[in-house]
Amino acid sequence: MNEQNYLRKKMVQALQTERSMLAEGRLLEALDARAEYRRYRRELTGVWGDSDIIAKLRGVRSA
């Protein structure tokens, strides 16, 4: 498995963990999982945060 696929896999796992932690009401653990997702996303894309995704969802170009 190449490194990009590994990072994608870890991103998915982090999002799944976040979802389950939110469902269980474990908010701090959910925040930790989101931070882990962002770390892997940053390694993969070089982008920090979710502003570009949010902008795309809103139909607005990010600055």
**Statement: residue 46 has pLDDT above 80:** no
Residue 27 maps to a domain: yes
Number of domains in the chain: 1
Residue 63 maps to a domain: no
Q: What is the DSSP string of the chain?
A: --HHHHHHHHHHHHHHHHHHHHHTT-HHHHHHHHHHHHHHHHHHHS--SSHHHHHHHHT----
Q: Name the residue with higher pLDDT: 52 or 62.
A: 52
**Statement: residue 37 has pLDDT above 90:** yes
Its domain, for residue 51, covers: 3-58
Q: What is the pLDDT of residue 58?
A: 81
Q: Is the pTM of this model over 0.85?
A: no
Residue 49 maps to a domain: yes
pLDDT in tens, 11-24: 999 999 999 999 99
